[in-house]
Amino acid sequence: MQKTIHIGSDHRGFSLKNEIIEILKQKNFSVNDVGAFDETNCDAADYALKVAESMKTNPDSLGILICGSGQAMTMTANRFSHIRAALCCNGTMARLARQHNDANVLTIGAHTTGREVALDIVDAFLSAEFLGGRYTPRRDMMSQFGEK
Active site amino acids: 100
Q: Can you give the three-state secondary structure of 29-51, one letter per residue? A: CEEEECCCCCCCCCCHHHHHHHH
User: Cα(14)–Cα(104) distance, rounded to whole angstroms?
Assistant: 21
- Cα separation, 27 vs 128, in Å, equals 15
